Amino acid sequence: MLWLTDDIYQLVLQTIVISSLITSAAIDLEHQLLPDECTVLVLACALLWHLSTNTLHTSVLGMLIGFSLIYALRQLYLVVKKCEGIGLGDAKLIAALGAWLGLSNLSALLLCASLSGILYTMLLSRNGSKPMAFGPFLIFSALLVFYL
């Protein structure tokens, strides 16, 4: 990560973001829970970073649209199937990731996370219809989008 920037401020914020994301992925895999503390840290660092680079508008739009899309999908699934399809923790995580990556990278994030989740389910999962954590797929995809 050090080779991506020579600005210590951005380096510290990126380190906090990535550390929080790795922590969130580990907790979500184990407990199927995305801690708000990690998500808020990612969101705060993302907003501070974009504030310092004068791109705050794209960060806020990524946050709002990301959360709104997943929240609407969650509500639609709840009405149609009468059960929860995606948790609010995932919606909050996508809001934080949208703030970090910006609006222009939101579609790549969602596509990559969805495809990796589908591939995992088809190829490796033997759980049947047992709920699975989506956070690690979102986090893995966010890191791919960020570095690539």
State residue 122's pLDDT score.
Answer: 85
Question: What's this model's pTM, rounded to 2 decimal places?
Answer: 0.91
The answer to whether 135 and 109 have CB atoms below 8 angstroms apart is no
| Enclosing domain of residue 78 | 7-147
What is the count of structural domains for the chain? Answer: 1
| Sign (positive or negative) of CA dihedral 29, 33, 35, 38 | positive
Whole-angstrom distance, CA of residue 130 vs CA of residue 17: 30
Q: What is the DSSP letter of 124?
A: T
- Look at phi and psi of residue 142 and say left if phi exceeds 0, alpha if psi is from -120 to 50, else beta: alpha
pLDDT for the residue numbered 121: 85
Please choose, from the candidates 38, 103, 46, the residue with its C-alpha nearest in 3D space to the C-alpha of residue 69: 103
Residue 38 lies in a domain: yes
pLDDT band with cut points at 50, 70 and 90 for residue 129: low
What pLDDT sits at residue 47?
96
In a domain, 1, yes or no: no
pLDDT band for position 128 (50/70/90)? low
Mean pLDDT score, 4-32: 91
The verdict on residue 28 lying in a domain is yes
Domain assignment present for residue 85? The answer is yes
Q: How confident is the model at residue 85 (pLDDT cuts 50, 70, 90)?
A: confident
pLDDT over 70 at 7, yes or no: yes
CA pseudo-torsion sign 108, 18, 137, 64: negative
> What percent of the chain is modeled with pLDDT above 90?
78
- Residue 2 domain flag: no
